[in-house]
Chains A and B, each alone.
Chain A
Amino acid sequence: MDVKIWTYIVVGLSFALYIGIAIWSKASSTKEFYVAGGSVSPISNGMATAADWMSAASFISMAGMIAFAGYGGSVFLMGWTGGYVLLALMLAPYMRKYGKFTVPEFIGERFYSKTARIVAVICLIIVSVTYVIGQMKGVGVAFSRFLETDYNTGLYIGMGIVFFYAVLGGMKGITFTQIAQYVVLIFAYTVPAIFISLNLTGNPIPQLGLGGSVADGTPLLEKLDKVIQDLGFNQYTTAVNGNKLNMFVYTMTLMIGTAGLPHVIIRFFTVPKVSDARLSAGWALVFIAILYTTAPAVAAMARLNLTETIQPGRVGEATGSLEYEKRPEWFKNWEKTGLLKFEDKNRDGRIQYYNDQDKTFATKAAEYGWAGNEMTTVDNDIIVLANPEIANLPGWVIALVVAGGLAAALSTAAGLLLAISSAISHDLLKGILRPDISEKKELNASRLAMVAAIAVAGYFGLNPPDFAAGTVAIAFGLAASSIFPVLMLGIFSKKMNRQGAVAGMIAGMSVTLLYVFQHKGILFISSTSFLGSMEPNWFLGITPNAFGAIGALVNFAVAFAASKTAADAPQEVQDLVESIRVPSKD
C-alpha cells in the first residue's frame, strides 16, 4: 500500500479516537473544565503531562537540532528534563496543596494584589500565545507535506479537532485525549528509532545502539566524529554551543523556564492529593525520558546516515560525492518542500556537502575543485520526519510518524489553549471584572474564551509572523524570568510582600525582553535592533535565547530590594504560606 493511503488511515484513526474521547468526557462543572475534577490518577496525569509538555518542537525539531549541534545540543536534553526536578521538588506539591484552578490565581492571593494577578495573566498570555503559534504551524506543515492538502486546509482540520475536544471537555477532555496522544506519539517516535538502531548497530535499543558499533567494528560515535570532521565540521561529541558559560546559562534558562510554564503547572492541579502531585511529576519525567533518551540516538544515527548518503566515497576523490541525478527518492520529496536545497556551485553534477566556514578545510576543498557547500539548506526538521524514508522503512512507519507529530502538536496546543482560556475566564472575568458571576455562566465564558483562543492561535497559524521561530526564546525567557521566580518567592519566602513580587516580575520580564529585542529587533523587526544579533555584542557571549536565567536573577534581586521598602506580608497571607507547605489539612 502506498504511503499516502497509510497516512490517511493512521491519522484518520487517531483523530477518530480523540473525538470519541471528547464525546465521552464532556465537562459539566467549572472544576471539571479547569482541573478535570481533581481526580486524575498520578500515572495518568504523568502521561498527560508528558504529552502536554512534548510539543512539535520536541517531537519534530529536537533530534534535528542535536544532529547538527552534537554535544552542544545537550542543552535542550538537560534543560527540558531537568526542569521537572525543580517542578517536582519546588512547585508541584505546593501548587496542589493550594488547590485552586490557575497560576495567576495563586499569585494574586499569595501577594494579596490584583495588580500581581493581572501582571501574571499578561505574562501567561504572552508565553502561551507565542508557544501555541509554533504548534499550529507544525500541524499545518505535517498536513501539507504528507497528506498533500494545502497548508491552510491542514490547519483548519487541526483547529477543528482541538476545538471539538477542548471546548467540550475542557481539562477533562484534554487529559484523556492527551493520554491517547502520548501513546500515539511515543510509539511513533520509538519504532523508527528501533529499526534504525538495529540496521546500523545491530542493537534494537537506541539508547544502547548510540554506544554500539557500526558494521566495520568502530564505535558509532567515533565513526560519526571522523566522518564529519573529514568534511570540516566540528567533532560531534565535543562541539560546544557558543561557549561554556552560554551552555550553562542556556540550560538553566530552559530548566527554570520549563518549571515556570503555566500549562505544565496546571496539570498538577488535577491529581487528588499532594503526594500524588509529587509522584505524578516523577511519572511525567519517566514518560518524557523515553523520548528524550531516544532523541540523541536518532540524532547521531540520522547525521551519520545523511552524511554517508551524500558522501559515499572518499573525501576529495571526484567519485566520492553523490551524483545529483542518483539522489534518493526522499531527497527529491524534501526538495519540493524547500527544506532541503541543492545548488551545483562547481557544476560537476555531484553534491558536495561540507563546512565551508572552516578556514583550513576550505583550502583543501579548493584543491578538490569544490566551490562551496552545495547543500545550501538542510532544515533541522527533516531529520525526524525523513528518518524513516532515509532508512527505507515501510510505509506504515512513515504514516505513524505523521500521526505522532500531529499528536505532539495537538496535545500541547490543547494544554496551552486551556491555560489561556482559564486565565481569561477565571482570572480576568471571575477574579477581577465580575466576581459575582454564577458557575454556569463562568463555564460558558470559559468555553467562549477557548473558542477565542483557538481563533487567535489559528489566525497566527495562517499568517505566521516572521518572528515565529524567535518567539520560543521569548516564551522560555519570560516563563523563566517572571513566573518561576515569583512562584518560588511565594512559597519559600514567607514574608515576601506584594511590592517585591510585582517589582520583581516587571524587572525580570523587562530585562529579558530588552535583551532579546536589542539583539533581534523590537517585536522581532530586525531593522529596529540597535545592537544587532552578533556575537561581539552579546553580554559575556550569552545568546538572547539563553538570557532568561539572568532575567530571573534580576527578578530575585529586585524583589528582595523592593520588599524592604514596605511592610512584610500580612499575617493571614503568612498563614496561607504555612498551610501550603504541609500536605495535610490541619
Chain B
Amino acid sequence: MENQNTLPSRRQAYWRANIRILITLLSIWFIVSFGCSILLVEQLNQIEIGGFKLGFWMAQQGSIYVFVALIFAYVRLMNKLDREFKFEDSE
C-alpha cells in the first residue's frame, strides 16, 4: 500500500509528466495543421510528390493521418505513465 502522505506528490509528478506529453503531442498537432497546412502551405507546395503538391496533401490528407497517429501515441505513452506511477484504472 502506498503511504497516504506521498499521494499528493505522486499525483503532482504524474500530472507534470502528463502535461509534458500533452505539450509535445499538441506541438506536433499544431505544426502539421496550422503550420504545414496553412501558414507554410505555399513553401511546401513547391515540393511535388506523386501527383500531389505537398502543402495541399498535408491539408487534405496528411494532417488527418497524423492526428490519428497522435492519439494512438498518446494512448501508449499514458498507459506507460499510468503503470509507472501505479495509477492504472480498474473497472
Contacts and interface: CB of A to CB of B under 8 A. Distances in A.
Nearest to A79: B33
A581 B18 contact: yes
A293 B90 contact: no
A89 interface: yes
Interface size class of A (residues with CB under 8 A): 35 or more
Nearest to A93: B78
Given A278-B74, A578-B11, A584 B39 contact: no
A279 B79 CA distance: 10
Interface string A249-268: 00110010000000000000
* Main SS class of interface, B: helix
Interface string A68-107: 0001011001100110110011100100010000000000
Nearest to B49: A211
Interface string B42-61: 10010001111100110111
B26 A584 contact: no
B2 A251 contact: no
Contact of B67 (A207, A211, A251, A285): A285
Interface residues of B, number: 49
Interface string A210-245: 111100000111100000000000000110000010
Interface string A17-54: 00000000000000000000000000000000000000
A77 B29 contact: no
A582 B11 contact: yes
A211 B59 contact: no
The listed residue with most A CB atoms (<10 A of its CB), out of B14, B75, B85, is B75
A211 B87 contact: no
Interface in B1-28: 2, 7-8, 11, 14-15, 18, 22, 25-26
A90 B49 CA distance: 34
Contacts of B39: 244, 248
Contact of A272 (B11, B61, B91): B91
B64 A583 contact: no
A211 B51 contact: yes
A237 B44 CA distance: 12
Nearest to A92: B71
A282 B68 contact: yes
Given A84-B67, A244-B38, A296 B51 contact: no
A251 B87 contact: no
A247 B38 contact: yes
A465 to B, nearest CB: 33
A221 B51 contact: yes
A77 B51 contact: no
Given A82-B29, A251-B33, A274 B89 contact: yes
The listed residue with most B CB atoms (<10 A of its CB), out of A66, A82, A281, is A82
Nearest to A88: B71
A296 B63 CA distance: 13
A292 interface: yes
B51 A71 contact: no
A282 B79 contact: no
Contacts of B91: 272-273
Contacts of A569: none
B45 A238 contact: yes
B8 A578 contact: yes
A585 interface: yes
A126 interface: no
B65 to A, nearest CB: 7
A238 B85 CA distance: 48
Given A278-B74, A583-B87, A584-B87, A210 B34 contact: no
B67 A275 contact: no
Contacts of A462: none
A74 B37 contact: yes
A81 B75 contact: no
A211 B52 contact: yes
Nearest to A73: B60
A161 interface: no
A219 B51 CA distance: 5
Given A88-B71, A248-B38, A82 B33 contact: yes
27 contacts: A71-B60, A77-B60, A78-B63, A81-B67, A85-B26, A88-B71, A89-B74, A222-B51, A244-B38, A244-B39, A273-B89, A273-B91, A275-B78, A278-B71, A278-B74, A282-B71, A282-B72, A292-B64, A293-B61, A293-B65, A578-B8, A582-B11, A583-B82, A583-B88, A584-B87, A584-B90, A586-B2
| CB-CB nearest 3 A-B residue pairs | A74-B59, A219-B51, A211-B51
Interface of B: 2, 7-8, 11, 14-15, 18, 22, 25-26, 29, 33-34, 37-39, 41-42, 45, 49-53, 56-57, 59-61, 63-65, 67-68, 70-72, 74-75, 78-79, 82, 85-91
Given A89-B70, A275-B75, 5 more contacts: A82-B67, A84-B67, A211-B50, A581-B14, A586-B7
Interface of A: 66, 71, 73-74, 77-78, 81-82, 84-85, 88-90, 93, 97, 207, 210-213, 219-222, 237-238, 244, 247-248, 251-252, 255, 272-275, 278-279, 281-282, 285-286, 289, 292-293, 296, 578, 581-586
